[in-house]
């Protein structure tokens, strides 16, 4: 759970040290191994423009990001009803991360239930995400939906919903 720039830099230093040790031991190493991070907490999403300078890719972990953004444990029956992937705060964070990645020319993907949710998929595509990781059971429907959707229409939808102020109004739209 990366939450600050210093963590990324520390892990990169460990990564470089491990590469040097392996090379010294005579192991063959690939020249260019992409280095990326999961965006799973609001603090990471909010500093995505800084993190994007340090990594080759982002993966947005929506299950944790929703939980930490909304302070809702989806496994707790007392508050699970408040778990809302389409909460305006969530969409704002995803937009920030996607925008930072796209502006720096790095890849951004999404994993978690949101990536395979048919209600969320047009919004996810409209936010600029093209690489999605989901449960195998979600793939056939997601694949069919992606083939039937226009990215331009999805972007128009996102422009509309980013003006809305509740998860319920976004879901309805």
| Token digits of residue 99 | 């925008």
Which residue, among 58, 57, 26, has the nearest Cα to 41 in the 3D structure?
58
Q: What per-residue confidence (pLDDT) applies to 74?
A: 85
> 14-35: buried (b, 16+ CB within 10 Å) or exposed (e) per residue?
eeeeeeeeeeeeeeeeeeeeee
Full-model pTM: 0.92
**φ, ψ of residue 77 in degrees (nearest 5):** -60, -20
Q: What per-residue confidence (pLDDT) applies to 75?
A: 87
| Token digits of residue 173 | 């739209």
Region label for 150, one of left (φ > 0), alpha (ψ between -120 and 50) or beta (otherwise): beta
- Per-run averaged pLDDT (10 residues), the chain, 173 residues: 96 95 95 95 98 98 96 89 94 97 97 94 95 95 95 96 94 92
Which residue, among 114, 93, 15, has the nearest Cα to 48 in the 3D structure?
93
Torsion of CA 164, 166, 169, 173, to 10 degrees: 50
Which residue, among 131, 93, 91, has the nearest Cα to 115 in the 3D structure?
131
Cα–Cα distances in Å, from 99 out to 46, 80, 108, 153?
11, 29, 9, 18
For the chain, the maximum distance between any two Cα atoms, rounded to a whole number of angstroms, is: 59
Q: What per-residue confidence (pLDDT) applies to 141?
A: 95
């Amino acid at each position: 759970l990366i939450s600050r720039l210093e963590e990324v830099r520390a892990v990169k230093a460990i990564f470089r040290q491990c590469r040097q040790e392996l090379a010294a031991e005579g192991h063959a190493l690939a020249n260019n191994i992409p280095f990326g991070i999961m965006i799973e907490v609001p603090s990471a999403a909010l500093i995505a423009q800084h993190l994007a300078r340090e990594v080759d890719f982002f993966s947005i972990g929506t299950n944790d990001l929703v939980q930490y953004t909304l302070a809702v444990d989806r496994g707790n029956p007392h508050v699970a009803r408040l778990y809302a992937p389409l909460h305006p705060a969530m969409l704002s964070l995803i937009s920030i991360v996607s925008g930072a990645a796209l502006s720096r020319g790095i890849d951004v993907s999404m994993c978690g239930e949101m990536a395979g949710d048919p209600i969320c998929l047009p919004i996810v595509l409209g936010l600029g995400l093209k690489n999605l990781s989901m449960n195998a059971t979600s793939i056939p429907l997601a694949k069919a939906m992606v083939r039937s959707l226009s990215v331009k229409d999805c972007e128009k939808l996102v422009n509309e919903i980013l003006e809305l102020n509740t998860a319920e109004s976004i879901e309805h739209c």
